[in-house]
Structure formats: C-alpha cells, structure tokens
Structure 1
C-alpha cells in the first residue's frame, strides 16, 4: 500500500489536538517532502528517520517520492515528537509493516540516528487531555515519557525503547528483523510513586512567631503573603518552607501540576505530588513570568500551579512583570493571546513575596539606615497600589538579636502546623466547597459568618484606614480563615482584629 495514516498528537497549551500523519509513496524523482505547517525541528525529522531506518536494518525507499502531510494543515507542529509516527508511516506505506494493525494506536517519540527512542515533553499533558476527551487509544511512547503518561488513571500506555520494538508488533513476519531487547515493548501499569513528598522543615526557623503565624494562616486559607524585613531576617527561609505547610495534594491536583511541568520538560517522577516552589530571579521578564512565545509556553506562574511562587526582592522585578500578576492572582488562570493562536494555562498559585523596607535594607532595624525619605518612598513606590491590594497578608519580619538566634530552641516542626492547616482547609471546603481565598461576591456574605460586633469593628477599620472594597473583602476572608484555625463557627471581633493587623500598606517609616 502506497498510502498510510498514523495517528499522533500536537500540543497547544494543555490541549492535545489530534494530528494525522499521512505518508504517500509515489514514482518519480526521489524526494522526501514534509508539509503541514511544520516547524524547523519537525522538518529535520527527514534526516533522523532516514538514518534510523537504515541503522536499524530496515529498508528506506530511496527510489520513491515520499510525501508526508501533517493534518490538519493549519495547526502548528513543533518538537521531535513526530519522528516515530513518520517512520512508522514510511514503513507501512512501503509494505514493511501492516498498516491495518495501526488502528487504535497513537505514536509520539523522537528518534536517534541509531533508532533509539528519546523522550518528548508533554507526554503527561497528552495523556491527561486524552482522558478528558474520552478518547480510548493505546499510546506508544519512549522511556521517560511513557512513565509520565501512565500516571493518568485509566491510560493505556506502552513503552517502546527502540524503533525495532515497534516494528516487531506490526510486521507481517518478524523473522528477518535483528534481535533486540525483549523488554522493549511493555504495557505500563497505572500508578504513581509511593514515596511521600518532602519539604524543608519549619523547625529550622527560630523565633519569628508573628511571621510563622502568618504562614500558617496563609497556608490554611490559600492567601497571598508579603514578608518585609531587613537582610538576613529569615524571609527566604520562611518562604522556602511554606510549601510544606500546605495540605497534601489530591490526585487531580498532582496531575494538573505535573502536566504543566511536563509541557516545559521539567517533570520528574521523584517530584510527583510535591507542591512546586518557583523562585524566579528578579531580572526575569514579564513573558518568563506569565508565559508567552509562539507557540505559547507556560510561565513561572503556571509552573507553580497548586504550589508556591516565591518572588524575592519584589521591588526589583520589572514593573511590567509585577503588573502582569494582577489578573492571575484573581482568576487562577492566564490567557496568552497571539495573532494566530490563543492558549490558556492554569495558574492557581500562592504568592509569597519578600522585600527589604528600603534600598539599603536597614530601615527600622538596629543598624542605621543610609536612605533618604525620598529614596525610601521611591523604592516602596515600585509596588503599585493595585498589586498590594491583592496581597492578603503584609507581615514584618524583624531581625533577630544574636542571643535569641543562638540560644532559642528549634521552632515548631512543619508536621503539626500542616495538620492544623489541613484541618482548617477541610472545614472551609465542607462549608462552602472551596478554600476561603476563592470566595467571590455573594459567597463572602453567605459563608463569612460575621458576628454583629465583628461586623461593626470591620466597618470602622475599613472607614478609618480608607480601604477599597477589595481590601475589606480580603480582610474578611483572612478573618474567616483565622476562625477556621480556631474551629470557631462564626467570625468574632478577635478574628477580625488579628486579620486587620495583617492588612497594611507599606509606610515610609516602617
């Protein structure tokens, strides 16, 4: 048969669009044409496929005009994931394998010149998209990629190590093929690694009772957090231990987080069900932070999905990058729109930011500050009001004196704090079906459970401090979380009063 159709997938964000690899052999001047809006790395598959077939002892039709079409033609295709389906299509069109037996299989994999299969990015995202679409297909993937895809419940994933492993399954007679690894074609079992996630322990942090309490509230309610203090006070140390206070990831959350990491080629089985902590350098651009490019790729906020985004030295980030955080902080998603394509990525992260109070860093500490009031105002003014308005907790982290640092016992470990946070989060979910930070509009009034005295106290605080409606609602959600930590059915004055202490605009005289 001179025409063969092989099924594969192209990645557009977290969507896995179906791609039919059509291979046609015809008489004429020998040529190898690849069409269908293929990127440069896809067009280079011609040489990889040719060498892989010859070095595997298979026949390459040198005397034929080979045309490979990646349909649909208006869908961009990138990466080396189409090497394997193109090679399979050439073999089927030339009669070396039975093309009719390819039905029900989908192929993806990059070929080395020797015929070995190399992993491709996005395998988990592909498997997850197939499950969401209800497509029952047998995925044939290289080592590394196959183990990722098999994490999705119900997925039928086959691992192939070499091109010959695939050919043996579909060849009419395999006697003439070279001997190869008998374990090369393997159906992988579903399941995830059993190793528990591990994080740095909060017991390493001495003192800082106020900051530790703020971390516990943020973890229990899903709130964003800003730590302000002099250099060496422990802001980064606290932030790096924050992920260990969050509730254990569900299977659905772990799959979503891993799928985004798989798109960027960052997923490792050892990090399964471990909440990511992204900490980009303050020189990163807005595109690196929120995503972009052509085709669109996820940024740091999406790679921190269901995890923590830690922005150290917050005022040093480019203004455009910080302002781009405003929408995903509210919605939990980011939409990357380009002239030819539009992609949407999840970005439900918890923001933990840290900054010094002034350029030299010593304002309000025991050491003398060298900054003028104008310099302090200009430095703090790099953070816009709308961005600060979206950060729920503003916490001062003072420097510890040497005796307190050296003589204090270890702080409370992460495990009991995480248990309290998980219990408070569970109370919120039983009551309203979501964490407190996700409450919107009428849900806040319905589930806040604000006592009359607490309502009056919040009204007075909001009026005197000139808060916006968003700030008032965020204080109310933080107070609801504090009440959940105390297992209180209603929000009382004490809960609101504590929440008010965490709501402060940066003053010049901190």
Structure 2
C-alpha cells in the first residue's frame, strides 16, 4: 500500500466537510451558525470546536445513544471533528443535537445527501432517538430562512416559517418527513373606548398618531389624561412584516405573544434597573420592551428622578447602551413616549384657572421641579388637559378609523418626527411667512425642529404634504407656547 496515499486520504476528506446551518442564542432571537462536520479514519475521537458551552459539549453521548436506538452505525473507528462558525462567538444553543447527528450521518454516507446544499437543521435529541422542537424555536426569524426550510421535530402549534418535521431519527432515515403548516401573523389592535372627545383634542391625538410625536399631558385629576393616552396607543399605524417580526422576537424574549405593536405601561414605583435594564449580564428592561411601540408613563413625576433622566438617550438615539463588568450591550429602545402628570400633590391644580387645589405654593413648586429641564425639552408636545363636561363633538372609535385612513395615504412617507429639519423646510407652502411670528428667532434648534415636525403632521392630517401658516400656528401652541407657559409657572412659584 502506498503510504503517502494513505496519509492523504484523511486530508482529502477534511477538505470538504459536511456543512449545515443551525442556530445559536442571541439577545432576542436565534442567529445562524454554520456547523461543519468532518469524519476522518483513525483512532476514535469526538471534538467540538468554536467556543461551545457545557450543554453543547454533552451532545456526543446523546448522538451516539440515538444512533444505537435507531439501528444506525456508530462511527467508532473515525475521528469526528465538529466546527461551529463563526469561531469568535461564544455559543449556547438548545438545538444543535440534531444538526450534529444528521451531519455525521450525511458525512459517513449512512443517509443520502439532502437536495439543499446547506440545509437548516434545529432540534433536540433524546437518548431513544426521538426528535423534539427546542423551547426557543419560535425565536427563529422567518426572514432568515427566506426560501429555505428547516428540519426539526414535531410542533404543537403552527410557526411562521417553512419546515419539515419528523418524530425520530428512524423516521427521518425512512424518509418520513411531514411538511408543517405555516402561520401568517396579522396585526390587530384592541378596540378604542366608546367615548366622545373635543375637536381640539381629536386634532391633537391625530397628529401625535400620524407623526408619532412624544407628548406629555398635564392637568388636574379626572381630566381624562390617562384615557386619551391609552387610546392614542391604539391609533398607531401597523408596521410592515419585517419590522413587526423584529418586535415579535423581542416580545418572545419578554414572554409575550404580540399581535400588535407593544403598549408598555410600567408602574411609577418601577426601579431604574427594571426600566433601563442591567444586572450582571446587562439584560434589557422596559425601555427595550417598548421598542417599536408606545411607552406610557402615567403619573410621570412620581417616577424616580434617575428613571426620568435615563430617558434622554433612548428619546434621542432610539437605543440604550449598558456596560457591566465584562459585558457590554446595546439594546434597541426606539419608542413613542406618552406621559401624563398632575401639577401638584393633591392633583387639582390647573394654571390660569380657578381650581380646588389645597397645596401650598412651595409644595406645588417642589412637585413640578421633579421634572428636569433637559428631559422636558425632549418632549415634542406639551398639552394642558382641562376638565371638559358633556363633550360630544368627536366619537373616538370613528376618529381612530379616520386616523388610520390618513396614515395609509402617507404610508410611503417617513414619519414626521423622523424627518430632518432641512427636508421639512423644503416643504413650506409659498405663502408661509415664519417672520410673522416672534417666537422663531429665539427658538433652540431642538424646539424649532419639534415645531416644524409637528407642523408637517398637522398638514398631513389635512391631507397635504405642504406646510401652511395655519399648521405652524397650531404647532407653536403645543411645541413652544405651552412649554414657555409651564416654565413661567415654575419661575413664579405657580
């Protein structure tokens, strides 16, 4: 026998290992990993490379036991090398048993090669060769599979991606795979409350929903602040399939089966870590849970100061950075913030109006000063909610339907709150004269941007994409004048 040829044979086998695609854990989903399987003649060895965790290292015993239970050959006369790519990532997974087992069977020629060049496989193996779906299988994003399908165990409920299921290795070897049902998710929102609101409030809720502007509603108790905010969250437009899929993955991380964009309403006693996230592994908090949806902070001034201050980064950048010992994470946190607040401890105060407030002047000022200037400045809208009796101008459910119709008309346009200031200035109507208003010369860039973006939303609510003078006049009230009135009230000790 030619000794040089015998030395080359193992090398030739290792040049073209069997390649399979599977999944490992990420923050909110499962991400693809390439499983390379190479079997070389020689003294038996079984080695898994690519930074596997302890659970993955236990796969050898399960694989060989399942082979024996199925009557398949256990390759005891071969060196088996498993490589998990990319190699620089530490890997943890519940479903690498099946891809490694099938990879060995395909590599050793015990099963015919699949038609798919690099098949997707994800599943758990029992010692008796039964195949199970991992508990986190619904974290797989449908877009990762594209036109491919997944080999896995039988499921108890439909999933939103194509797959072939089988109950055991013996069934798979016999070609008994079943094409499973694919579930198509549809977004559906809960019905709005059957109430009536004023025309002014209806217009405001419409522009908030159309442009997704952050807003704070302040006023006495019983003025309907919380009711309006909760119904406003139901008026947001549905997302496209790709973005909604991302929100579903985040929802699964928090144990939610989402049918619509998230509406998160934490209690004002929530701690800083529960809101921001943190801990030894820098896990996400309520800010990330609200990503892509609405964060409702009822009784805003009752939240701890550190929680309020932590809103600066997500409101500005749409994400939050967490750094802990040996761990750095960036979590998504792009949400619409809707806040409500009373203006005094007893909840009855309203500026420039006769009211029943019994609080001392110093108590009112201390209460309102809980809201810091930088946090307040990041809200685009400030609205004073007054008690309105017997209002029957606009029926809210019908109004929300009208909002959805207007959103559909501008579905291909960027949200007003995301449009750059320079782009908005190009949409000014030729008869719009900003110099008529004394406020514009003294506005900060952030206030000016908020005013322009809100004016664009008012124009879209009218059905146009060109900003008129009347749009600016309305936008100034909510984005500038009400803020100035609030600051003046604080400076004068109310």
Q: TM > 0.5 between the two?
A: yes
Is 1:139 the equivalent of 2:150? Answer: yes
Shift of 1:117: 1.9
Is 1:214 the equivalent of 2:219? Answer: no
Shift of 1:201: 1.1
Aligned to 1:397: 385
Residues 489 and 217 (structure 1), Cα distance of their counterparts in 2 relative to 1, 3 Å cut: closer
**Contact 2:254 2:289 (8 Å CA) reproduced:** no
1:381-439 deviation per Cα after TM superposition (whole angstroms, max 9, x unaligned):
333322221211112233466xx4xxx66951334433345426734x66xx4121111
Which structure 2 segments of 5+ residues have no match? 1-12
Shift of 1:353: 1.7
**Contact 2:21 2:119 (8 Å CA) reproduced:** yes
* 1:379 aligns with one of 352, 367, 371: 367
Q: How does 1:278-427 map to 2 (within 5 A)?
A: 278-285=264-271, 288-290=274-276, 299-334=285-320, 346-364=332-350, 368-369=356-357, 371-399=359-387, 404=390, 412-420=395-403, 422-423=405-406, 426-427=409-410
Normalising by structure 1, we get a TM-score of 0.74
RMSD (CA atoms): 4.3
Shift of 1:223: 1.0
Q: How does 1:462-481 map to 2 (within 5 A)?
A: 462=440, 467-481=443-457
Is 1:249 the equivalent of 2:239? Answer: yes
Residues 285 and 414 (structure 1), Cα distance of their counterparts in 2 relative to 1, 3 Å cut: same
Compare 92-101 and 222-231 and name the one that shifted more.
92-101
Compare CA radii of gyration and give the structure with the larger one. Answer: 2
Residues 357 and 489 (structure 1), Cα distance of their counterparts in 2 relative to 1, 3 Å cut: same
Aligned to 2:90: 76
- Aligned residue for 1:80, secondary structure, equals coil
Which structure 1 segments of 5+ residues have no match? 151-156, 175-181
Q: Distance in 2 between matches of 1:497 and 1:23?
A: 71
Aligned to 1:485: 461
| Matched length | 467
- Aligned residue for 2:98, secondary structure, equals helix
Shift of 1:72: 3.3
- Aligned residue for 1:242, secondary structure, equals helix
Q: Distance in 1 between matches of 2:465 and 2:141?
A: 44
Q: How does 1:118-129 map to 2 (within 5 A)?
A: 118-121=133-136, 123=138, 126-129=141-144
Aligned to 2:439: 461
Aligned to 1:154: none
1:138-184 deviation per Cα after TM superposition (whole angstroms, max 9, x unaligned):
3234566995442xxxxxx21425344xx534x2x56xxxxxxx6x6
1:213-248 deviation per Cα after TM superposition (whole angstroms, max 9, x unaligned):
322110011211212234454333322222332234
Is 1:192 the equivalent of 2:188? Answer: no
**Contact 1:282 1:314 (8 Å CA) reproduced:** yes
Q: Distance in 2 between matches of 1:307 and 1:67?
A: 45
